[in-house]
Homo-oligomer: A and B are copies of this chain.
Amino acid sequence: MTGGAPVTITLYELAGADPERRFSPFCWRIRLALEHKGLAFEGRPWRFTEKDAIAFAGSETVPVLVDGGRAVAESSLIAAHLEEAYPDRPSLFGGPAARALTRVLVHWTDGVLHPALAPLLLAEIHAILAPQDRDYFRRSRETRFGKALEAVCPDREAQLRSLRRTLSPVRATLRQQPFLGGAEPLYADFAVMGAFLWARGVSALPLLDADDPVEGWRQRMLARLQPASRALAAF
């Protein structure tokens, strides 16, 4: 929220019992995208069961972005909107070829990284939710995973090893360059960092070894967060 400029952008973000606790990986990637473009915005806490509050956007999930009079739901569509609506601000993608390749990394994040991370977090997410969200969360996630929340991760050490192995292409790349996008972070970084901010919002479990190149990158990404965002991720 840059001083002086009128705030016309609102981002609905998933929050826990504590409204300052923001932990959706998809909302985080949009927050990082807004910061990258230097756009002032208000992040409005939203709970899983507040479907009515975002019905105007034709969506049952966040992120929902309201930009002036326009509502956009779903992180990839919001990123596309920001790139098109603010072409004079720093690009989220770095050109058409990079934008095409970013899609692979976003799909990898959604379909490979998130499933490796989710089992480690589910029980802790349940514990930090607003009371009215807990039944919804348990029911929807137990349906998705086909088992009780408490049974999704029978061996945390094995799951942690699997997560670290999953990160190998990212790790190998970060041995060669500071960010996935190269010298500076781009939307691919925001997608992957969203997963780590999700984890940071709900759990104190250290996911990475201190000497892991991915941990070095995670620290660089944290250091770039605006102060307001840093507070929301510091649980």
Give the distance to chain B from A166, nearest Cβ to Cβ, in Å: 9
Interface string of A66-103 (1 = CB under 8 A from B): 00000000000000000000000001011111111111
Residue A170 lies at the interface, judged by CB distance under 8 Å to chain B: yes
State the A residues within 8 Å of B (CB).
91, 93-105, 107-108, 111-112, 168-170, 172-173, 176-177, 179-183, 186, 188
CB atoms of B180 and A101 under 8 A apart: yes
Contacts of A93 in B (CB 8 A): 97
CB atoms of B169 and A101 under 8 A apart: no
Contacts of A173 in B (CB 8 A): 100, 103-104, 107
* CB-defined A-B contacts under 8 Å, sample of 25: A91-B97, A94-B95, A94-B97, A95-B97, A95-B98, A97-B97, A98-B101, A99-B182, A100-B179, A100-B182, A101-B102, A101-B105, A101-B180, A103-B176, A103-B177, A104-B105, A104-B180, A104-B188, A107-B168, A107-B169, A107-B172, A108-B108, A108-B169, A111-B169, A112-B168
